[in-house]
Structure 1
Amino acid sequence: MTKKRRNLFCARILCASILFSLAAPVSAEETASAVSVEAPEYVLMEPETGTVILEKDKDVPRSPASVTKVMTLLLIFEEIEKGNLKLDDTVITSAHAKSMGGSQVFLEEGETQTVETMIKCIVIASGNDASVAMAEHIAGSEPEFVNAMNKKAQALGMKNTHFVDCCGLTDSDDHYTTAYDIALMSRELIRKYPEILNYSSVWMDTITHNTRQGSKEFGLSNTNRLIRTYEGCVGLKTGSTSKAKFCVSAVAKRKGITLIAVVMAAPDSRTRVKDASMLFDYGFAKCSLYTDENPGKLPDLKVIKGIKEKTTLTFGKTFRCLSTDGTTFDKIKKKLILPNEVKAPVKKGQKAGELVYYQENRELGRIPVIYAENVKKAGYLDRLKQTAEEFCL
């Protein structure tokens, strides 16, 4: 290898290393100097891009305690979206649901509450009895609901997760997840169903128990102290047992950025709050998110030998770019890459080109431009009709 080629090779390796360091989350060693987190496992994630900003042992399985209920809530909101469940539907508490220990809202056997009330009981007061009542209402039994939880975990790419119950009360070694997997299901919940944050950000509320003994109010207090102590915190779910210690999947919003901080196995509730706050402080100080909701109008594309002469285009997704080094986004430039024409047939959703984003000649990323409609290949009669129309004109 000549000296010139060797220098070129080294330069390419150096550039690749720099690009990798920009994209990769901060390692545990680097984090130690950035934030002082006591918990053994944690993740700080930006949910719009799914970027992991900070992490330590993010894939180590542990008991999640009541953070399990993030998945329970996700399945509840999915059923509402499907039309199988309504907020004002009534749910009957079974003897099994009533028998749940740990954190509960003291539902009585045979007591009815609306779905919305049950959601409040689960997300605000971490009611194990409410979680089981909802699981039975949706799936017929808690085990069947747990099967659905595990299937959803697989679908979300939660590779190190297995659920045994729907509330996290179990001490079974077969009930486990990781900081990263919790971040994944939390991301899915708040992005698809952001209305959950309207419930998880409530500090105190009340429900009414209507039973054979009469009617009485019961106060709900949020188990997540970050709601009151950290500016911008809007959720999401805490958990604690002697086995799991103190866990939280917290969500906070500032400066147009949303962050998820997952802390597992903190020694006490105060440390859990401190660790999550430190992760948030780091993220909000370092992160900037650029989102282009209006990338511009796309031209029609000429189609050769199609039943239509042109096809419409659309953008395949919204462009988002996250900076984690404190830099801001300004003077963004865009370059549209499209062919002059395309041969039929054209399939809707197929990629036609790209829109590339630059900042100071550095590429930030790109989004696909796709066909917005199907255009079939013209047959003999189609071409004859087109010729006749052109002649008439």
Structure 2
Amino acid sequence: MAALFAPLAMAGAASPLGGPRFATVLMDADTGEILYAEQATAIRHPASITKVMTLYIVFDALDAGRLRLDDRVVMSSRAVAQRPSKLGLGIGQSLSVEEAISVVAVKSANDISVALAEKVAGSETNFARLMTAKARQLGMRQTVFANASGLPDPAHFTSAQDIAILSAAMIRNHPNHYRCFSEQSYSYGKLRLANHNKLLGVVRGLDGIKTGFTNDSGFTLTASAVRDGRRLIAVVLGSPSGWQRDRDITSLLNTGFTALDIRRNGGTEDMAALLSSSGFTLNRSLRPVPQLVALDVEEGDGE
């Protein structure tokens, strides 16, 4: 299996990013059509969007009967040692698989992501191999996973297009589990955990799925919305701030649904013109890299 992944790993090593770079994709989830893209297949760091695949593997195990929602997930020393964002349980403490899923989806907890990986595959390394194999099965061609959290690793990379493919697969193949990404908050014991995705309940029809941030990745988000029976997926990677990322996702989704309406009425849309009129900045990957603004990220990592 290592030989299968070596060419992609070398390709990533040969393309150092030198910092976050903007990339984006707007996809029709029903048809797979790319409505707009910029640097769609360029290698990027996904940050905590990684956890969409982490949970995908967990959902596969649940559906196959290899895992149950009431199974206990025990915290190892490796899991406890993960950097924030984290839940903060101690070694030997545990929570149910059901609780772990919500904590990962809402809190984006790196410690719980690793504990889940160890529960499913025995080790995070083995779990990462399952993640990469699943990525290849889904048609994600620019992706290699090195961990279950999305914390920085040179061998851990993806593309905006691959994240859109993964998001569509999650919605299509695990529709009942997908709703965990729509929870605006989750209560664990006395803790009330707020979702990092601030667009839930704000953008019409938006029902998931995952944010991310590290210094290597910039601010990232894959989001999906449904209006009038049509579903779109928007992905933004490498944004300099959470505010800019959220603004871009909102513009992409609103413009995409406007384009679908134009088509429905027999017209032909000009996506670039529509996006530009919405305030979306085109050709951003060709501009100088702006300084990251991390003030809105808890602990500064692992959103």
Alpha-carbon distance in 1 for matches of 2:173, 2:138 = 13
Q: Distance in 1 between matches of 2:207 and 2:166?
A: 16
Q: Shift of residue 328 of structure 1?
A: 4.3
SS in 2 for 1:264: strand
Aligned to 2:42: 60
Aligned residue type for 2:263: G
Q: Is 1:265 aligned to residue 242 of structure 2? A: no
SS at match of 1:287: helix
The residue that corresponds to 1:326 in the other structure is 263
Counterpart residue identity of residue 58, structure 2: I
Do structure 1's residue 41 and structure 2's residue 23 form an aligned pair?
Answer: yes
Structure with greater contact order relative to length (CA < 8 Å, sep ≥ 6)? 2
Higher strand share: 1
Question: Larger radius of gyration, structure 1 or 2?
Answer: 1
TM-superposed deviation, 1:102? 2.0
Q: What's 1:167 paired with?
A: 149
Partner of 1:192: 173
Aligned counterpart, 2:227? 254
Look up the SS of the partner of 1:248 in the other structure. strand
CA distance, structure 1, for counterparts of residue 227 and residue 215 of structure 2: 33
Aligned to 1:81: 63
Residue type at the aligned position of 1:155:
Q
**Does 2:73 match 1:91?**
yes
Contact 1:197 1:234 in 2 (8 A): no
Structure 2 spans left out of the alignment, 5+ residues: 1-20, 267-303
Give the aligned partner of residue 204 of structure 1: 185
Structure 1 contact 226–233 (Cα < 8 Å) conserved: yes
Counterparts of 1:284 and 1:194 in 2: how far apart (Å)? 22
How do residues 268-347 of structure 1 correspond to structure 2 at under 5 angstroms? 268-287=241-260, 325-328=262-265
Residue 135 of structure 1 aligns with an amino acid whose one-letter code is: A
Q: Find the residue that maps to 2:24 and give its secondary structure.
A: strand
Unaligned runs of 5+ in 1: 1-38, 209-216, 289-324, 330-393
Question: Which of residues 177, 180, 198 in structure 2 aligns to 1:225?
Answer: 198
Moved over 3 A (4+): none
- The answer for the alignment partner of 1:240 in structure 2 is 213
Once the two structures are superposed, residues 286-344 of structure 1 have per-residue CA deviations (whole angstroms, 9 ceiling, x without a partner) of 116xxxxxxxxxxxxxxxxxxxxxxxxxxxxxxxxxxxx52248xxxxxxxxxxxxxxx
Tell me, yes or no, if the aligned pair for 1:102 and 1:169 is still in contact at 8 Å: no
Give 1:40 deviation, angstroms.
2.3
Letter in 2 for 1:90: R
Q: Which residue of 122, 125, 129 corresponds with 2:104?
A: 122
> Over residues 220-247 of structure 1, what are the superposed CA-to-partner deviations in whole Å (9 max), with x where a residue is unaligned?
1101011132121111000000110100
How many residue pairs match? The answer is: 246
Q: Secondary structure at the match of 2:253?
A: helix
Verify the 8 A CA contact 1:182 1:249 in the aligned structure 2. yes
Q: Is contact 2:86-2:109 (8 Å) kept?
A: yes
Question: Which structure's residues are more often helix, by fraction?
Answer: 2
Further displaced range: 270-279 or 90-99:
90-99
- Deviation, structure 1 residue 173: 2.0
Return the alpha-carbon distance in structure 2 between the equivalents of residues 207 and 240 of structure 1. Answer: 23
3-state SS in 2 of match to 1:227 = coil
TM-score by length of 2: 0.79
SS of match in other structure, 2:248: helix
